[in-house]
Chains A and B, each alone.
Chain A
Amino acid sequence: MSPTAAGSAASPGAGRSESPAAGPAAVSVRDLAVRFESDAGPVTALDGVSFDVPAGGLVTMLGPSGCGKSTLLRAVADLVPLSEGEISVFGRTPEEARLARDFSFVFQDATLLPWRSAIDNVRLPLEVGGRNGSVEQHAEPDELLALVGLAGREAALPHELSGGMRQRVSIARALVCRPRVLLMDEPFGALDEIARDKLNEELLRIWRETGTTIIFVTHSIPEATFLGQKCLVLSAHPGRVREYVGIDFGEARTLATRDTLEFVEVTAHLRRLLGESG
């Protein structure tokens, strides 16, 4: 199946092809603009951005560097103030959603506390933000470490783990409060390609097992194609939605999917979009 272009980003129905997309929007962005004051005057990072992420969906975000894809993710996470427009996360503002722990964030760097063991790092979200370790509905940290393939390494300190393993711990930490949305900012960007491929497959498994909505920022076209049910392509200066591309390879995606003709067609389409907007 060839990529189905959604054309206008504001029409969330178009281009949708896989089944979980049928639910209500988990994250809804409307006419978003973000401007910064810099030394060289005001800078518009994002302008007129609108799109929906369906509940339970996995949307990748792709764009040239400086297109504001990280800023967009940070705006959803209440880390960046909005200049115009609005964002809703399951009907809440980003601030309300942050206080309710509706989402968690995975950074490019694993940001683990070096003095804490793997399992104590996973527990961190349960100890801060007025939680005091007694969260109503949290997942068991040891089960999460097993979910990300780190059973038996609970007591390991971060410096005893490889880069890929550290990033797995940070994913387990992000899942400990059972978030409804997982925001991932180039989480595998610092890893070698072999580790990245493994973690891509693994992320799809975790996504299916947990049913969490995922927004995944990347600058890798194959990664965006392999993971996303939909791919939001942004253009730079200022960041605008170039196209919201639906991607459908059927149910089972494995590393072999990357060698299929459909996969190559999608990556070619995305590359062309990036080339035009570059």
Chain B
Amino acid sequence: MTGRHEEAGWTAPAPAPAAAGNEAGCAAAGRGRNDPPPGTWRRRAPAIAAAAGLLALWQVIVSGFGVPTYIAPSPVQVLQVFVEQGDILWLNFWPTLMEAASGFLVGNTVAAVLAVWFVHSQLAERAFYPIAVFVNTIPIIAVAPILVLLLGNGYAPKIVIAALICFFPTLVNMVRGLKAVSPQMLELMRVLSASGREVLFKIRLQSSLPFLFAALKIASTTCVIGAIVGEWIGSNYGLGSLIIEATYNFRAPLLYATVILGAGMAVAAFTIVTLVERRVLKWKPPEVF
């Protein structure tokens, strides 16, 4: 680590110690994050063991006490649904995925654009921020019927609900991120006679990225909830409608399988956002991850 030390970098600008310092820096920065560090499995083993244990306990209780299937199915019965009724599950999986993904895209885009506008116009922020807060306070389950009345029974209301649920966290975080530029950095840009556009594109957007990704992680899971809630209200396709149908027909194993599939979708979306974040925010010091 001598290359990182002030003295060494100073008195010996020769490439050898500097390069050594570079390597040390890279190692510290955690390059090659894709390879799990040693001990990863050992750290994850307790969680895996606990999950497996709980599943086993569930199976034992359901079969041991003779709980009727329509009240609580056993894990094995739920697994059977995935094997035997997989086509129904997948048929309803894709519409929900499409709605959630579209809502994610629309909600976050609108929020990001609005945040840029708010940061540049105090008038706009004063006029519309309170309205955004108000809209956010209305429970999404109460907005859903209104949107179904307005937009009909198709994809549109579901996408709008998923977008609405993504919108607010991203707006708040993005406004904070765009404003999180040090006063000295802004002074530097003034000394350089930089335009507002240059400050936005060279400084503000980049420094808002950590805030944006924090919001996108939230949005990646809530957009799935939004799509499913939208399908509850008025729909004959999608995981949401399947949940309603399975509940009313006492098809508990199908209900459980549908819920698990919805959760899986959210987890997958969260993982994708996290992976993209790691690629985009390579410049963040490692301790932030």
Instruction: Give the interface of A toward B (CB within 8 A).
Output: 74, 77-79, 98-99, 101, 103-105, 107-109, 111, 113-116, 124-125, 127-130, 146, 149-153, 155-157, 159-160, 162, 164-165, 194-195, 198
16 new A-B contacts, CB < 8 A, other than A79-B187, A79-B190, A107-B187, are A101-B192, A105-B188, A108-B184, A111-B182, A113-B185, A115-B283, A128-B193, A128-B194, A128-B198, A146-B13, A151-B18, A156-B22, A157-B29, A160-B26, A160-B28, A165-B9
| A115:B18 contact, CB within 8 angstroms | no
Listed A/B pairs (18) with beta-carbon separation below 8 Å: A99-B193, A104-B191, A105-B187, A105-B191, A107-B188, A109-B182, A113-B185, A113-B206, A114-B284, A115-B206, A128-B189, A128-B193, A129-B192, A130-B195, A149-B10, A150-B13, A152-B22, A162-B6
| B193:A111 contact, CB within 8 angstroms | no
Q: How large is the interface on B (under 10, 10 to 19, 20 to 34, 35 or more residues)?
A: 35 or more
A212 → chain B closest CB, angstroms? 15
CB neighbours of A130 from chain B (8 A):
193, 195
| A151:B190 contact, CB within 8 angstroms | no
Closest to A191 in B: B6
How many Å lie between the Cα of A101 and that of B188 in the bound state?
Answer: 12
CB neighbours of B278 from chain A (8 A):
none
CB neighbours of B33 from chain A (8 A):
none
For A101, A109, A127, A159, which residue has the most chain B Cβ atoms within 10 angstroms?
A159
B4 at the interface (CB under 8 A from A): yes
B273 at the interface (CB under 8 A from A): no
As a 0/1 sequence over residues 15 to 35 of chain B, the CB contacts with chain A under 8 angstroms (1 = contact) are 100110110011011000000
B110 → chain A closest CB, angstroms? 25
Cβ contact of B191, chosen from A98, A113, A195, cutoff 8 A: A98
CB neighbours of B36 from chain A (8 A):
none
As a 0/1 sequence over residues 247 to 289 of chain B, the CB contacts with chain A under 8 angstroms (1 = contact) are 0000000000000000000000000000000000001110000
CB neighbours of A74 from chain B (8 A):
187
B263 → chain A closest CB, angstroms? 34
B202 → chain A closest CB, angstroms? 6
A150-B13, A152-B19, A165-B9 as given contacts; A127 in contact with B190, CB under 8 Å: no
How many Å lie between the Cα of A114 and that of B193 in the bound state?
Answer: 21
| A125:B192 contact, CB within 8 angstroms | yes
For B22, B26, B192, which residue has the most chain A Cβ atoms within 10 angstroms?
B192
CB neighbours of A77 from chain B (8 A):
191
B161 → chain A closest CB, angstroms? 35
CB neighbours of A162 from chain B (8 A):
4-6, 9
A155 → chain B closest CB, angstroms? 8
How many Å lie between the Cα of A109 and that of B187 in the bound state?
Answer: 12
| A157:B283 contact, CB within 8 angstroms | yes
Cβ contact of B202, chosen from A79, A127, A151, cutoff 8 A: A127
| A129:B9 contact, CB within 8 angstroms | no
For B15, B21, B184, B193, which residue has the most chain A Cβ atoms within 10 angstroms?
B193
5 closest A-B pairs by CB: A152-B18, A160-B25, A115-B283, A129-B193, A128-B194
As a 0/1 sequence over residues 167 to 204 of chain B, the CB contacts with chain A under 8 angstroms (1 = contact) are 00000000000000010110111111111001000110
Q: Which of B213-262 contact A (CB under 8 A)?
A: none
| A111:B284 contact, CB within 8 angstroms | no
